[in-house]
Structures are given as C-alpha cells and as structure tokens.
Structure 1
C-alpha cells in the first residue's frame, strides 16, 4: 500500500495519522460531505474443506457445474470477514465502512483464506475541504499495490498472495 500525507486541523493530533485504501478523490469527496476517515480495517477468515470435502470437491471437478461445497466455503468465509469488519467498525464507533475489497487466496491443502479491507468513517461537521475544487494531484489514478505489474508474464508472490500471468 502506498500513500501520501496531508493534515486537516480538525482531525486533532498530527502524530496519529489514519490509514486508508481510498483514493485522493474519494478522500476529498468524503471530507467535502463532512465525514472523516478513521482507519483501515482488515479481517481474515480461513476455512477448510476437510478430507471428505476435499475428496468430494476433487471428484466434482470432473463434471460440469458448480462445486457446491466450495461455493458454500467461499460464502461462509466472506460473511465471516464482513462480520469481523462490522464488529471492528462498531468498536471504534464508526458510522460506516467504505471501499471494502475482498481477496480470496487458495492456501492449498483444501484451505481457503478470504481477506477483507475497508476504510471506517465517522460524521464530523468540523471537517470540510479547504478548497472548493479537487486539487489536480488528487486525481492521479491509484493502482492495486498488492502486486506489481513489472513482472508481467511471470509468477509473482508477495506475502503469500500469488498472481500469475498478465494483470
């Protein structure tokens, strides 16, 4: 994750910055509406098919159609992650969570990890943009920083997340 630093006097202590996955444009719009970002929220859920489920999924892969046990695992892991995100947002008294992204990772051995990342926010009438228009530097398009496209066509591995081929 990459970013930049800016300071708003209504946000308090400059030694306690917030983290976010929002783009500069999204942050500006959030502030323009009178909301302040609180912090980046992350949750992970790891589920396992188990030996029986893995064998059943293996044989199901030879036929056409959905592999129901795998689908249910993905749904369960996703719901677990989103519940963790909601719980964490509630614990910091956030009004909501923006820009929630989900990443699914096959951990081998019939295990699957779902990672959720989002930005918690709270209403703060004292927080407004100081400029009536979005500064040009805030329009720079962000790109996903989990993977680098410098190695296009090569398998990439970063902290257990693998991406193969072109993005």
Structure 2
C-alpha cells in the first residue's frame, strides 16, 4: 500500500464511519516503533506505522485509522479528544475502534536488558544501585559519610 492508497482509505473510512470528510494528510511514518499511529495536533495529519499492515493485515490498520480519526474529528470539533476523555471513549465504541493496538510481535518477545551499577560504602557496607555510573571521588555515603567504591555491574531484565 502506498501513500495515495492510504490517503484514499483514510478518507473513505472517515466518510463511512464519521460522516465527515478528512481534509488533511495520512502518511506512513517508518520511524514509529511502539505505536500504531499518531494524530498530530498542529498539522491535523495522521501518521501510521507500516509494520502493523505487514504483520497483522489491513483490518488492524483500519482499526488504527479509526482510532486516529476519533482524535482528529473530536479535536476539530473542539471536544475532548484525549484518551482519558469520556467523549473520546464513547466515539471509539460507536465506530468500533480499538482503544489500544496489538503489540508488535518482536516487541512482545524482546526484553530490554538494563545495566545497573552497584556501589558499596567502605565504611558501613551499604549498597547503592544506580542506572548510571558516576565518579566515586565526588560522592560519599548518605548513611555514614564513608567513601564509595564501585562493586559490580548487574544485568537486569
């Protein structure tokens, strides 16, 4: 599916389910990684993740387009367009749009390994675990004011 076909599909869905025209652009944005699509408040354009079409098919893409069109039409009308707004939730139900899209398969199975740094106080033995490594000569123990020393790196999931 190319950009013109996506634009045409979005306009058709807008007319069919919302009874109003979609007057802005709908494009694929290949930089989207964790979301199916997004509605841009400033330009009123809709960006969609092409990988949802490739992995789950046209039906999933249509659901995402409906979701983004809910944001679009409510924002244009000056109503509550955010996920937490009652008007948004009601419109989602009326048009049969999903509230959340299905997670991508590779993101489901991929666990991000985060490194943690374990520091120990030479005075009292207190351990401090931090995400970022730091210069131990600039800091001291918050318990006993003793010197800190780097102990080890911990890989956590």
What interval of TM-score do these two structures reach, taking the shorter chain for normalisation? under 0.3
Higher strand share: 1
Larger Rg: 2
User: Normalized against structure 2, the TM-score is what?
Assistant: 0.25
Larger relative contact order (CA 8 Å, sep ≥ 6): 1
Higher helix share: 2
User: Normalized against structure 1, the TM-score is what?
Assistant: 0.24
